[in-house]
Amino acid sequence: MRKGIAVSPGVAIGTAYVIHEIFVNPDTKLLEDSEITAELARYETARDRSAADLRALERKVDAQVGHEEASIFAVHRSILRDAAFTQKIRAWIVDERLTAAAALHRLLGEYTELFSRTNDAYLRERLNDVRDVVIRLSGHMSDVLRPEKSQEVLKGPLIVIADELLPSQVVALGDIEVQGIATQAGSQTSHAAIIARSRGIPAICGVSRLMRLVKTGDTIIVDGRAGHVVINPDAEALSAFRKLEREFFDLKDQLAENHDQPAVTSDGQLLHLHANINGQPDATASVAMGAAGVGLYRTEYLYLTHPDVPDEQEQYETYKSIIKSSPDQNITIRTLDIGGDKTVPYLGHHHQEANPFMGWRSIRLSFEHPEFFNTQIRAIIRAASDSPDSQVRMMFPMVTTVEEIRRLRGMVRRAYKSLEEQGLPTTRVPMGMMLEVPAAAVTIRSMLDIVDFVSIGSNDLVQYLMAADRDNPKVSHLCQPLSPAVVHVLHSVITACNDAGKSVTVCGEMAGQPKSFLLLLGMGLRNFSMSPAFVPSIKQLASRVSVAEAEAIFRKVAKFKTTGQVRRFMTEKVQELAPDLAILDTST
């Protein structure tokens, strides 16, 4: 048994499917003499296609973003053309009879070892470029994750094992029957965690040495409540966890029955439980789970999983499709939130930053590329205008100052004007801010006159408030949403918004956690946005507590001085109000 961080509740048992960063168990078989020529041709075809990709990307990014940003693809083409790079691959195929995939795997290993010996930031950044080129080449030779090949070998539900899951890897998984996820890196707010929660898949992260301990085909248990991974369990452990797994599925089936019921407290207070989504599958799931709408559509996943740069028409069609798929066509669309742990090559990937989470990201990056940003604003307005029955709102991430809001309003006005000049229909789209920065929390009352609504992004707000990187295990103990400091700041923001009559929502992971939900309800929050899979359980919990009880809970917690006191008290309250939901709560 190995301990990690619980990120998505429940228990899952299945067969391990190990995903390496680029290759899933690259072919180790040696080529026959008769296969060498075909393998060389396969590599050359992949190389030609990669070069064509990069030329097209360079032209597209140059036109939509800028010349400097497009230059990264010229660097990638030079790596692809590099004589030493190509000669090594060819030599290993011919002389050692390696497959092209195995040769690329070896080459990347050599570069990684070589560059790891230097402290030069520039050289380390070049390793990322080599890695990108290898990923592109391997993608043309075969599907990066080869899911269909694994289906031939592995039967039944799978437990995905990875160092860290990237959005593109999740897309490549396709329709594989994923029962659970365990990763070596990551945090409660990593890509893997967010995707697992949105799909209701038990998951844990931060499991030390996981990739060394597990091989494809092992039997794995993932306990997403306590944060445990059990590798090749004995019969006794398997039996005990199978019982917990059945309880988990039975409860999920039972909760699904409240799909058509509104979210109402025991004393009749109507609540609005919305869903956080990354794309079309999540929008569909949010309807099935009985969400009242979409409180957060993370548009960056369109960019992160796109082969190049989505243009205005492509964005417009995507947004319009997701609006129509959303519950009651009620949706809040967040503009591009790239940076930190989410990067694309043409927007900041080649810029080295000492602290990317507090640097050039989100709205700051959008200001740097106004034409690129304008394309997204226009696409959102067009999609909203062509969906007359919808309730579409536009939200901007990482807003810090009043000046930024005014600048954003000016950019939106110009987008409206350009659409009108082209004779395209427009409709008013409410504009809101995502509150993640402590400075914005402190000055929130001065911002409420110039925004239509506020959404609190508790994931980033917690790490910025506590000055603790949520992905750094050394300080993860400080990134606690139930800390007294976080509770105090959230209460002040919610109170300010309610006093001003402005809609306020919490759309961070706190909204879907039973312990946090009770506290937020007691603070006066009535709008929550969470992973779709959490909507039924939170709806059930809401039905068992009155507003008066929640307010009493908050008044008690407001007097506590330590995070431990808050957590213990809230755990007791959840157990007291809804003991049957304990299996859906994580240990953190």
Task: Return the active site residues.
Answer: 191, 507
Q: Are 574 and 585 in contact (CB under 8 A)?
A: yes
- CA distance linking residue 73 with residue 51, whole number of Å: 10
CB atoms within 10 A of CB 374: 17
Residue in the block written with tokens 């097209």: 56
CB atoms within 10 A of CB 243: 10
Q: Are 177 and 460 in contact (CB under 8 A)?
A: no
Q: From residue 563, give the alpha-carbon distance in Å to each of 36, 351, 442, 482, 484.
A: 62, 37, 22, 6, 6
- CA distance linking residue 294 with residue 329, whole number of Å: 8
The identity of residue 263, as a single letter, is A
- CA distance linking residue 192 with residue 203, whole number of Å: 8
Closest CA to 511 of 549, 473, 471, 538: 538
- CA distance linking residue 344 with residue 69, whole number of Å: 11
Would you state the torsion angle of the CA atoms of residues 201, 202, 207, 209, taken in this order, to the nearest 10 degrees? Answer: -60
Kindly tell me the sign of the dihedral angle through the C-alpha atoms of 281, 282, 283, 288: positive
Kindly state the tokens that stand for 344: 């694309």
Q: From residue 558, give the alpha-carbon distance in Å to each of 101, 347, 518, 526.
A: 57, 42, 13, 19
The identity of residue 382, as a single letter, is R
Residue in the block written with tokens 């195995």: 102
- Please list the alpha-helical segments (H only) found in 326-454: 362-368, 370-385, 402-421, 438-442, 444-447
- Please list the alpha-helical segments (H only) found in 448-513: 458-466, 484-500
Q: What spatial distance separates the first Cα and last Cα of the chain, rounded to whole Å? A: 19
Kindly state the tokens that stand for 192: 């893997």
Q: Are 545 and 266 in contact (CB under 8 A)?
A: yes
Closest CA to 539 of 497, 508, 581: 581
Question: In sequence order, what are the beta bridge partners of 264?
Answer: 270
